[in-house]
Amino acid sequence: MMRLANPHYFLSFSKKLTPWLAIIGILSSLAGIIGGLFFTPPDFLQGETVRILYIHVPTAWLAMGGWSCIALASFVQFVWRHPLAGIAAKAMALPGAVFTALCLMTGSIWGRPTWGTWWEWDGRLTSVLILFFLYLGYIALSRSVSSVNSFSSVSRLPAIYALLGAINLPIIHYSVLWWRTLHQGQSLGLTHSAIAPSLLWPLPLTLLGFSCLFALITLFRMRYLLAHAQYEARLQRMASL
């Protein structure tokens, strides 16, 4: 794993990994979505609207998982001062924000026929909305600090912001237990599931597919940021001649 901290090795490794992530991500996502739309029965309570879970659950997973990875990368950057970790955190912010927005939108669409309202200021919905704003704040902060002109110029200020923002993650997770809420409790766990097997089987496919697509976008953005850093460094060297 330490070899991945070397930018040249990382670029070589990521070029080999991206085709596999693209293939697995696209095929798994399509298989899960098609299976959920056409090959699973309607829920006995929610009817056909339950099918949105094959989009909503993976996006919710990646909304929280994305910030968890940003916080982990920020911790590595803050403690060991390795700029590649900061670049990884910056690369994950945009796809994390997109998946969080999709989570909020699909949850709202699901909530309208289920709860009779598009939005409710309960613990789970509000904390996820805060997470979306945290993503936007991280993106704005990382752009406002000094530009990535070299590996050593990645600011540690966004790392501090990301670590502080991670406080919101347990609030999201336990919100359905701490407060009275319209949002249902935890349906999936490591050892149990409240979802019927006839409805559950496409969900791991979309979870895998969306996760691979998230990783694919992150790698593309990391390669772009590294290339931009190398380009800016080359311009600076030419200007100093």
* pLDDT for 149: 44
pLDDT exceeds 70 at position 152 = no
Query: Which amino acid, 228?
Result: H
Average pLDDT, the chain: 87
Average pLDDT for residues 110-126, to the nearest whole number?
89
* pLDDT value for 190: 59
CA nearest to 106, candidates 119, 121, 92:
119
Percent of the chain scored above 90 by pLDDT? 57
pLDDT of residue 227: 85
Which comes out higher in pLDDT, residue 56 or 238? 56
- The tokens of 202 are what? 């496409």
For residue 217, what pLDDT is reported? 97
Tell me what the mean pLDDT of segment 171-192 comes to. Answer: 76
Residue 87 zone, left/alpha/beta (φ > 0; ψ -120 to 50; rest): alpha
Domain that holds residue 75: 18-184+197-240
- Residue 191 falls within a domain, yes or no? no
Encode pLDDT of 217-235 as tens digits.
Answer: 999 999 998 887 776 666 5
The answer to whether residue 150 scores a pLDDT higher than 50 is no
Helix (H) or strand (E) holding 170: helix 168-178
Distance CA 96, CA 214 (A): 8
pLDDT, tens digit, 9 for 90 and up, residues 3-21? 666 777 788 889 999 999 9
Q: Is residue 134 part of a domain?
A: yes
pLDDT at 146 over 60: no
How high is the pLDDT of residue 176?
80
Does 131 fall in a domain?
yes
Task: Give the residue, 12 or 182, on which the prediction is more confident.
Answer: 12
Q: Which of 45, 76, 210, 223 is nearest to 156 (CA)?
A: 76
pLDDT of residue 237: 64
The domain tally of the chain equals: 1
- Has residue 148 got a pLDDT over 50? no
Cα-based distances in Å from 237 to 73, 102, 241: 29, 43, 7
Within-domain flag for 190? no
**What confidence score (pLDDT) does residue 172 get?**
94
Does 203 reside within a domain? Answer: yes
